[in-house]
Amino acid sequence: MKILGTGLSGLVGSRIVELLSNQYEFENISRKTGVDISDPIAVFNKVKNSDASIVLHLAARTDVETAEKEKSLKEESEAWKINVGGTKNLLDACEKLSKKIIYFSTDMVFPGTKELPGKYEEEDVPGPVGFYAQTKYEAEKLVEKANCPWVILRIAYPYRASFEKKEYVRIFKWLLEEGREIKAVADHYFTPTFIDDLPLVLDAIFKNNLVGKIHAGGSEVVSPYEAALKVAEVFGLNKDLIAQTTRAEYFKDKAPRAYNLSLNNDRIEKLGVRTRSFTEGLEQIKIQL
């Protein structure tokens, strides 16, 4: 089966392609392949000229801090143009050409006010607290109204063993290996997604022809502080270098973060797909490295 995708060279997309390339044929929509997703004509022509029946939409402007600085620009911001405008262009093409779209979204669309151990379910009402999250939610709303088959796939703080750009797990590991101190937030909770689990989720979506909203967070709730401690534990690094701080202190002059963004994965788990805990993901990364 052929899959047309955006963001297939990014942190998440490149690993999905790597792990599923034996089962599916991928074609990338990107500036590298001559298509800017903010250009509706270029997007339409690319989707029209592909015989793929599914569009996997991962491309996004994900820099939370830069997005927050641009929020006064609203629809003229780069985050809006890519995250909302780019999604609209893809949806327009999918509607006209009868393609299915799988839109990758984020746990950050939720307000984060649920008390632990509560988790957000697919149909819970979003309420983003930062501008990046708002753009992702605005795109979700467009997807929900689309006249084509759609999936909104929410993931959370994705991580993997290796990539050209470090995400938080490898930043923690690198800092500890360098003997540098880490101040990590202890009152912000999430369910980190081990990227290697996503091919199983996508395979289930494809084979069961699923539509609607689906959560694919990890199966363990952690705070950044707990995540840093687990990285130290799994890789045998110095826990004494890790200190805890609060959201109010750490994000004082930065984009706001919610209290609890934990995702409930019941829908995908009923199909027999279990995502790994953060600890299990780290252990797997240790093996891969």
Domain boundaries, the chain: 2-288
What is the structure's pLDDT at 30?
86
Q: Hey, what are 251's tokens?
A: 């994000």
Tell me whether residue 260 is exposed, middle or buried, using C-beta atoms within 10 angstroms of its C-beta: 0 to 12, 13 to 18, 19 or more: buried
pLDDT of residue 33: 82
Check if the beta carbon of residue 169 is closer than 8 Å to that of residue 288. no
Please report the pLDDT score of residue 31 as a whole number.
82
- Which residue numbers in the chain have pLDDT < 70? none
Residues 217-272: tens digit of each pLDDT: 999 999 999 999 999 999 999 999 999 999 999 999 999 999 999 999 999 999 99
Report how far residue 20's alpha carbon sits from residue 5's, in angstroms, rounded to the nearest whole number.
13
pLDDT at residue 140, rounded to an integer: 98
- Specify burial of residue 275 (Cβ count, 10 A radius: 0-12, 13-18, 19+): buried
Class of domain 2-288: alpha beta
Query: In the numeric block, which tokens belong to residue 135?
Result: 């753009």
Burial per residue of 114-149, b for 16 or more beta-carbon CB atoms within 10 angstroms, e otherwise: beeeebbebebebebbbbbbbbbbbbbebbeebebb
Q: How far is CA 175 from CA 45, 164, 228, 248, in A?
A: 45, 17, 10, 23
Predicted pLDDT of residue 81 = 96
- pLDDT on residue 34: 84
The per-residue pLDDT for 66 is: 96
Give 152's strand partners: 103, 213
Residue 245: the pLDDT is 97
Whole-number pLDDT of residue 168: 97
